[in-house]
Amino acid sequence: MIEEKQEEKLCEKVEQSYHLLGKKWIGLILYTLKDEPKRFSEIATYIPNLSKRVLNERIKELEDSGIVIRNVIADRPIRTEYSLTKKGTELTKALTYFENWAEKWL
């Protein structure tokens, strides 16, 4: 009985992760942020077919999930950058396997 409940929780978590990662553009947004923080316009430049409205929605979802953090830099002019949290960095490490697979098979 306990095993079934643990299995249900695991399945639920896996389903949540696939639901988030399965959304269009999420993987590419994470890919652009994996090496260094980027401004909104830089992310948009890296993914030219992504509308600014959808980019804004996806970044909000990633922020709400604790994967991306918004950093306001109080220099002149004030800038906003997006970077990966520890949770996001660990996720992009896992996504590296997909990158390697794509290089080999696609």
Residues 15-33 pLDDT 10s: 888 889 999 999 999 999 9
Q: Is 4 within the bounds of a domain?
A: no
Q: Is 2 within the bounds of a domain?
A: no
Position 12 scores a pLDDT of 87
Q: Is 10 within the bounds of a domain?
A: no
Q: How many CA atoms lie within 13 A of 22 on its CB side?
A: 6
- Whether 51 shows a pLDDT value over 80: the answer reads yes
Number of domains in the chain: 1
Q: Is 58 within the bounds of a domain?
A: yes
Residues 74-86: tens digit of each pLDDT: 988 899 999 999 9
37 lies in which domain range?
Answer: 24-105
Domain of 52, CATH number, reads 1.10.10.10
Q: Is 6 within the bounds of a domain?
A: no
Q: Is 68 within the bounds of a domain?
A: yes
pTM, two decimals, is 0.84
What is the C-alpha separation between 79 and 72, in angstroms, rounded? Answer: 6
Q: Is 11 within the bounds of a domain?
A: no
